[in-house]
Amino acid sequence: MEKVNWGIIGCGNVTEVKSGPAFYKAENSALVAVMRRDAAKAADYAHRHGVPAWYSNADELIADKKVNAVYIATPPDTHAAYAIKALRAGKPVYVEKPMALNYSECRQMLAVSEDTGVPIFVAYYRRMLPGFLRVKQLIDSGAIGKPLSVALKLIKPPSNDELNGNLPWRVLPEVAGAGHFFDLASHQLDYLDYLFGPVVRVKGIASNRGGLYAAEDTLAAVFEFKNGVVGSGEWCFVASSDTNTDQIEITGENGNINFSCYSFSPIQLMTDGNRQVFRNERPGHVQFYLVQEIVNELLGKGKSPSTGETGARTSWVMGEVVKEYYKK
């Protein structure tokens, strides 16, 4: 492979700015085909982004000989099926997060990847964003000494659609795997996996406090990483907008680091009573850096930090947090 020619399955909103342009702006990469079940919308996307081919059927895109790698940007309930088809066609897969509907599907995808020898990557792009790499550099350099614990908190209000009963797919467990927790906590938990390694123990409580939909909306969890760091998390997606919170705090022997996952607020380092602040700017195309690294790996020039194996670990953690809720 001399150049990675991507095909996108599911060219919806997430691909307009966050991801889609990265595939034709990265070096040695091109976007050559897109697919959406609505043919008119697929054609419109192709026209606006300068993509030479479009389809309304995923099998046709996977069969396109010009496509040698596939990006899957559909809701999680179709991730496994599309990924397995592409892998068996010999085409590397980059799949949106969460990796699949549940951990069992993740393992199926990994088994096919191993059997075919074709790699799979997951869109946990914070592993390559400059601000988040800064946090990792601070930890790895010993800026706060040995990391001891981490606490994360994400509090958000419900959307107007949710209040009005027009439910988005992200709160339909049969499509999303669970509620907003799978969609949003996945980035937080995956990034902590990047910092500290795999979670080895996790306990969670999930409940529905808002009554707007069947999925869980309020959760708490405690977990322990392989390196000994202990963590806690709190999530609520039906709170007042006055309580909006997006915070991750890492405590070490000699200080702490505070930063956000979604708001890209400045990173704060506290050591010996002194505070340092680092910028954490949001790139125009947030997936660009990870897409470039995946392209580099496929061309034998690098190594992506986000793989199917790491993505599956995050799905396992989330599944453990909500498993009692979905036994009801």
Distances 138 to 71, 127, 135, 141 between C-alpha atoms, Å: 32, 14, 5, 5
Model confidence at 256, pLDDT cuts 50, 70, 90, reads: very high
**Who has greater pLDDT, 272 or 44?**
44
| Mean pLDDT estimate for the chain | 97
Mean pLDDT to the nearest integer, 182-195:
98
Domain boundaries along the sequence of the chain: 4-124+286-305, 127-283+314-327
4-124+286-305 topology per CATH: Rossmann fold (3.40.50)
CATH 2.40.110.10 is the classification of domain 127-283+314-327: no
With H, G, I as helix, E, B as strand and everything else as coil, classify residue 246. strand
Mean pLDDT to the nearest integer, 30-39:
98
Inter-residue contact 105 to 81 (CB < 8 Å): no
Tell me the pLDDT tens digit for each residue of 79-138: 999 999 999 999 999 999 999 999 999 999 999 999 999 999 999 999 999 999 999 999
| pTM for this model (two decimals) | 0.96
What is the model's pLDDT at position 125? Answer: 98
Tell me the pLDDT tens digit for each residue of 205-248: 999 999 999 999 999 999 999 999 999 999 999 999 999 999 99
Measured between alpha carbons, how far is 316 from 328 in angstroms, rounded to an integer? 19
What is the model's pLDDT at position 1? Answer: 79
Mean pLDDT to the nearest integer, 160-179:
97
Main-chain phi, psi angles of 163, to 5 degrees: -65, -30
What is the model's pLDDT at position 156? Answer: 97
134 CB-near residues (< 8 Å, 6+ apart): 267, 278, 280
Mean pLDDT to the nearest integer, 170-198:
98
> Residue 328: pLDDT above 80?
no
